[in-house]
Amino acid sequence: MIYGAMKFSVGGGLKLAFRPWVEGLENVPTEGPAILASNHLSFSDSFFLPAVLDRKVTFIAKQEYFTSPGVKGRLTAAFFKGVGQLPVDRSGARGAGEAAIQAGIKVIENGGLFGIYPEGTRSPDGRLYRGKSGGLARVALATGAPVIPVAMIDTEKIQPPGKVVPKLMRPGIRIGAPLDFTRYQGLENDHFIRRSLTDEVMYEIMKLSGQEYVDIYATAAKRQLAEEKKAAEQKAAEQKDGEKKDGDRAQAA
| DSSP letters spanning the chain | -HHHHHIIIIIHHHHHHH--EEE-GGGS-SSS-EEEEE----TTHHHHHHHT-SS-EEEEEETHHHH--HHHHHHHHHHHHHTTEEEE---SSSHHHHHHHHHHHHHHHTT-EEEE-TTSS--SSS-EEPPPSSHHHHHHHHH---EEEEEEESGGGTS-TT--SPP----EEEE---B--GGGTT-TT-HHHHHHHHHHHHHHHHHHH-PPEESS-HHHHHHHHHHHHHHHHHHHHHHHHHHHHHHHHHHH-
For residue 107, name the pLDDT band (cuts at 50, 70, 90): very high
Residue-level pLDDT at 93: 44
Residue-level pLDDT at 44: 85
Please say if the pLDDT value at position 5 is more than 70. Answer: no
- pLDDT, average across residues 156-184: 89
Residue-level pLDDT at 134: 84
For residue 90, name the pLDDT band (cuts at 50, 70, 90): low
Cα–chain center distance at 48: 12
In the chain, what is the straight-line distance between the N-terminal and C-terminal CA atoms, in Å? 79
> Phi then psi for 79, rounded to 5 degrees?
-65, -50
State pLDDT tens for residues 64-84.
666 667 765 666 666 666 666
Give the number of residues written for the chain. Answer: 253
Which residue has better confidence, 78 or 116? 116
What secondary structure letter does DSSP report for 93?
S
Range with the poorest average pLDDT among 11-15, 35-39, 215-219: 11-15
Which residue has better confidence, 184 or 6? 184
| Cα–Cα dist 137/181, whole Å | 9
Q: What is the mean pLDDT of the chain?
A: 85
Residue-level pLDDT at 43: 81
HEC string of 147-189 equals EEEEEEECHHHCCCCCCCCCCCCCCEEEECCCECCHHHCCCCC
Please say if the pLDDT value at position 117 is more than 70. Answer: yes
Which residue has better confidence, 203 or 246? 203
- pLDDT, average across residues 184-200: 94
Q: Identify which of 35, 68, 135 has the alpha carbon closest to the alpha carbon of residue 95.
A: 135
| Cα–Cα dist 94/105, whole Å | 17
Residue 86 bridge partners (DSSP): 60
Q: Do 208 and 176 form a contact (C-beta atoms < 8 A)?
A: yes
Residue-level pLDDT at 96: 57
Which of helix, strand or coil describes residue 215?
coil
Which residue has better confidence, 81 or 189? 189
Residue-level pLDDT at 81: 67
